[in-house]
Amino acid sequence: MTAKVHLFTDGACKGNPGPGGWGALLRYGDVEKELFGGEANTTNNRMELMAAIEGLKALKRPCSVVLTTDSQYVMKGINEWLAGWKKKGWRNAAKQPIKNQDLWQQLDAECQRHQVEWRWVRGHTGHAENERADQLANKGVAGVKA
């Protein structure tokens, strides 16, 4: 794994649930790629997860990735909760199925393919790449047919 890719992700939702979008900005050296998409009836947490999944899926071969998100849900899920969920058969402490299990499993699979370093930034504070990911996520929302 030689390539060091920077991935900036964000999700957006108009209503929760409601129409949602995800955005990802990939940067390798001075090459950038913008990705976005949306769903008609979703949640902000699902869109945050989709942004990370789709950004990682866009990489054709295993890479060293610095993934920056403004989602505490994604950060805590990947760094604190995931191992326990897997041990407990994808159930939470109350023995209930975890929310968004389908997406957590996809994100886990993508993280197995790459070497991912996770970074968190506070959203909407002028972080240039986070702001661009937010704009892409909103483009994703705008493209959804209600």
Q: Which residues are annotated as part of the binding site for Mg(2+)? A: 10, 48, 70, 134
Integer Cα distance of 95 and 7 in angstroms: 34
Show binding-site residues. 10, 48, 70, 134
Active-site positions?
A: 10-11, 48, 70, 124, 134
What angle, rounded to 10 degrees, do the helices at 128-142 and 44-57 form?
110
Run of H or E including 9: strand 4-13
**Alpha-carbon dihedral sign for residues 122, 112, 32, 19:** negative
